[in-house]
Structure 1
Amino acid sequence: MARVKGAMNTRKRHKRILKLAKGYRGAKSKQFRTAKQAVMKSGVYSYTGRKLKKRDFRRLWIARINAATRAHGLSYSKFMYGLKLAEVNVNRKMLAEMAVNDMDSFAGLVETAKAKIQ
């Protein structure tokens, strides 16, 4: 059986990793071994970052909803409880958007929540 040399596949693999490492500082963008480590680590960071972004946006939405409901004399938790009792299913992203851009309809939701609590 003939001997198979792996130069072509190795070069392809190295080029793929070095392309991902383009723009990294120093040897991390030039040498395969360090580039591979840097690319693997950056992949971990980007995965974690995608999870953190969701967490950060949820915190932002809750802060905006809380500020808007307190202007109407209600706390965030009581507002959300009132919406749950009223069976209003609107997610926090949309509530925050309404609190910032559509104050009138948000005020209507606050009144609905207040009515269900009392």
Structure 2
Amino acid sequence: MARVKRGTTTRTKHKRLLDQAKGYYGRRKNTIRIARQAVEKAGQYAYRDRKVKKRAFRAIWIQRINAAVRQEGMTYGNFIHGTKLAGIELDRKVMADLAMNEPEVFKGVIKQAQDALAKA
């Protein structure tokens, strides 16, 4: 039976790994063992931070909405409750964008929320 030489497969694996480690500092970019650890850790950070990014953006949107709503004399919690009662189905991302870029339109949304709270 013929002898199997595994150089091609190993080189392919190593090349793929080193391509992923491109741009890293020091031996992390050109030593297989260290590059493998660095790439695995980078993958763990990327996975975790995709979730964290969603949390961070939601927190930013809430802060922006809260700042805009407080200028009109309401709290964030009362405003959200009022939008639910009024049947306004805008998400926080859209409301934060309105608060920053279209303040007059956002004041209309606040007015609707205040009216719904007054009726309840």
User: TM-score range, shorter-chain basis?
Assistant: over 0.9
Q: Partner of 1:98 in structure 2?
A: 98
**SS of the residue 1:90 aligns to:** coil
**SS of the residue 1:24 aligns to:** coil
How far has the Cα of 1:13 moved from its partner? 0.4
| Structure 1 residue ranges, 4+ long, deviating more than 4 angstroms after superposition | none
**Count of residue correspondences:** 118
Q: How far apart, in 1, do the equivalents of 2:101 and 2:22 lie? A: 41
How far has the Cα of 1:82 moved from its partner? 0.4
Give the TM-score taking structure 1 as reference length: 0.96
How far has the Cα of 1:3 moved from its partner? 2.7
Q: Partner of 2:43 in structure 1?
A: 43
Give the TM-score taking structure 2 as reference length: 0.94
- Which amino acid letter does the alignment assign opposite residue 59 of structure 2? R
In the alignment, is residue 15 of structure 1 matched against residue 15 of structure 2?
yes
Gaps of 5+ in 1: none
Q: How far apart, in 2, do the equivalents of 1:22 and 1:113 lie? A: 52
The 5 A counterparts of 1:61-72 are 61-72=61-72
Cα deviation, 1:69-102, whole Å, max 9, x if unaligned, reads 0001111010000000111100100000000010
Q: How far apart, in 1, do the equivalents of 2:89 and 2:6 lie? A: 58
Q: How far apart, in 2, do the equivalents of 1:100 and 1:30 lie? A: 47
Question: Among the aligned pairs, what percent are the same residue?
Answer: 47
